[in-house]
A and B are shown apart, each in its own frame.
Chain A
């Protein structure tokens, strides 16, 4: 078992506009990318649990051209609204760091 953060070259979050959060997991080796994809670990079910949002809100897109997986979901709190913890949405990747990959 490995942790996702050990396998990924880039593991980041950012706003995609003020209403959405997008997470990118990028690999610099094809083998690591395939391993994570094939493990099925990054499912809507997992993301729904980690980010406390409905599965119907989540999009997970494979992007082989950059050996990447992109996960997008609506922000619970719109950027800059009262109670927002992260205006840019740039530090919301923590829940993904220790995801176990076979």
Chain B
């Protein structure tokens, strides 16, 4: 079976020539991962995509007519970047627009992935929700307060949609690999090889040298092995580049955990098949006793206002730690009896010192120039604006010890100096739930376009 992955994320682009090369090989499936939690909780919470509409439309409209003419199923997973209902709707509208413009008619399957709160509360009571890490616990209030919760579907909902005759599948939140694994598993291919190939392909041409998420890759699945073939003459797959890709974004390169079980890659072999193609064998699969579904949920985490400025005075830079402490203290005093210190957070991000590494920064030196982001997060936008404004004006004029540059401490690049950023979100849920039937959570809706 031949499977073509368009690129690593729908909207990242791919060369037309790579698609042409792939289509010449007559793939049985074309798939693409359209989302990720990498960009953080905001997009799931707000219902927006982190990818650009124009770029997503371009990536779809080049391939959609070709897939339809050739009768190749086209699967998009984690629609709209996060796979919630607004994201699914956004991505569906793009497909419908393309269909109208090009006069295309086809059977579209939508697979929904938002999970109900009452369902999850029930599962929590039954003890059927497990943590995915030590730093995030779940209680009933976390479920109740969540703005949106999605589950990552495995292969079953895709298989259901294919069985219903869908030509195009637009799925909500999906396991990245399940997008590519569904059809081969439906056709009885070796699950270990299938999941391994799927996991590599979902990042597009990242497993190549030079690697990129903005290019396509083809997998050829056979009974006892699979091949990975770049579709761009300037890329090659090597045993090292393919093996190395299993490290990417994974906690463990030997064991890949999916809804349906675990792919065991500890015996996998990577061999150069020809100049640019790699052959992989030896991957196996251990089915889970009880399938689990990964659930992701977000809550509102306050309104944010920031102010960005530069500092060049060495005396100030030398004392910056004391200065930011003093500014925080002053802000607290200004707002006493007006805004409780418990209702806001005030942060100073100091670039040129430890803005990136925080407490892990090994370098004790500070740069000759520092960038600061003054950040206020509070219950309301107005409160965040107020706290940021006072912190900013205090820091601008603060009379630190030994100061010579007495006219102003900060170099603002902009007027206005303060930027309201709107609502922020944080992950409230990142857990595993044991459903009775993994398919039950992901209803398939068929639409005739």
Contacts and interface: CB of A to CB of B under 8 A. Distances in A.
B61 to A, nearest CB: 29
B357 interface: yes
Interface string A65-83: 1111010101110111111
Interface of A: 10, 14-20, 22, 24, 26, 28, 50-52, 57, 59, 61, 63, 65-68, 70, 72, 74-76, 78-88, 91-92, 94-95, 97-98
B135 interface: yes
A86 B356 CA distance: 7
Contact of A85 (B268, B302, B358, B425): B358
A90 to B, nearest CB: 9
Contacts of A50: 360, 362
A24 to B, nearest CB: 5
Contact of B133 (A20, A26, A51): A20
B302 A82 contact: yes
8 contacts: A18-B41, A22-B249, A61-B254, A65-B270, A80-B41, A94-B356, A94-B360, A95-B360
Given A15-B249, A82-B377, A65 B243 contact: yes
Nearest to A24: B247
B136 A79 contact: no
Contact of A19 (B133, B239, B357): B133
B244 A18 contact: no
Contact of B430 (A18, A28, A59): A18
A61 B135 CA distance: 22
Contact of B252 (A59, A68, A87): A59
Given A59-B252, A61-B252, A74-B133, 12 more contacts: A14-B249, A61-B253, A68-B253, A72-B251, A80-B424, A83-B347, A85-B349, A86-B356, A87-B38, A87-B39, A88-B38, A97-B362
Bin chain B's interface residue count: 35 or more
B37 A95 contact: no
B247 A87 contact: no
B132 interface: yes
A67 B359 CA distance: 30
Interface string B63-97: 00000000000000000000000000000000000
Contacts of B132: 17, 19
Nearest to B377: A82
A22 B37 CA distance: 15
Contacts of A10: 244
Contact of B301 (A24, A28, A82): A82
B445 interface: no
B424 A78 contact: no
B242 to A, nearest CB: 9
B250 A16 contact: yes
Contacts of A98: 362
- Point out which of B239, B249, B301 has the most chain A C-beta atoms below 10 A from its C-beta: B249
Contacts of A24: 247-248
B345 A95 contact: no
B399 interface: no
Nearest to A56: B134
Contact of B427 (A81, A83, A88): A81
B14 interface: no
A91 B39 contact: no
B299 to A, nearest CB: 10
B40 interface: yes
- Point out which of B250, B301, B349, B355 has the most chain A C-beta atoms below 10 A from its C-beta: B250
Given A17-B37, A24-B247, A78 B136 contact: yes
A87 B41 CA distance: 9
Contacts of A61: 252-254
A16 B356 CA distance: 18
Contacts of B424: 80, 82
A52 B359 contact: yes
Interface string B257-280: 000000000001010000000000
B135 A19 contact: yes
A86 B38 CA distance: 11
Contacts of B244: 10, 26, 66, 68
A27 B72 CA distance: 40
A15 B249 CA distance: 6
A81 B347 CA distance: 13
A80 B50 CA distance: 14
A22 B38 CA distance: 13
B135 to A, nearest CB: 5
B357 A95 contact: yes
A19 B430 contact: yes
Contacts of A97: 362
B280 to A, nearest CB: 11
Contact of B249 (A16, A59, A66, A82): A16
B361 A94 contact: yes
